[in-house]
């Protein structure tokens, strides 16, 4: 499960996660699309979505490598 799926499963919008993570909506959209961010932002997003960085970001990287 990737970032988008975690967010949807938690019933949150992109705007809500971006606001809580203290980043712009555009930045969040780029993270969700490209799976590229800083460790600090990845940690903040993982705390907001109640998952681990590995669950949210690493699984998506594994899918991209298939």
pLDDT for res 59: 67
Could you identify the residue written with the tokens 């991209």? 64
The dihedral through the CA atoms of 3, 5, 11, 16 has a sign that is positive
For each successive 10 residues of the chain (66 residues), what is the average pLDDT?
92 98 98 94 97 84 53
pLDDT for res 38: 96
Contact 1, 29 (CB under 8 A): no
């Amino acid at each position: 499960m990737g970032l988008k799926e975690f967010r949807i499963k938690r019933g949150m919008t992109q705007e809500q996660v971006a606001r809580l993570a203290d980043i712009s909506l555009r930045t969040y959209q780029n993270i969700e699309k490209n799976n590229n961010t800083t460790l600090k932002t990845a940690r903040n997003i993982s705390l907001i979505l109640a998952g681990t960085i590995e669950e949210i970001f690493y699984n998506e990287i594994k899918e991209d490598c298939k």
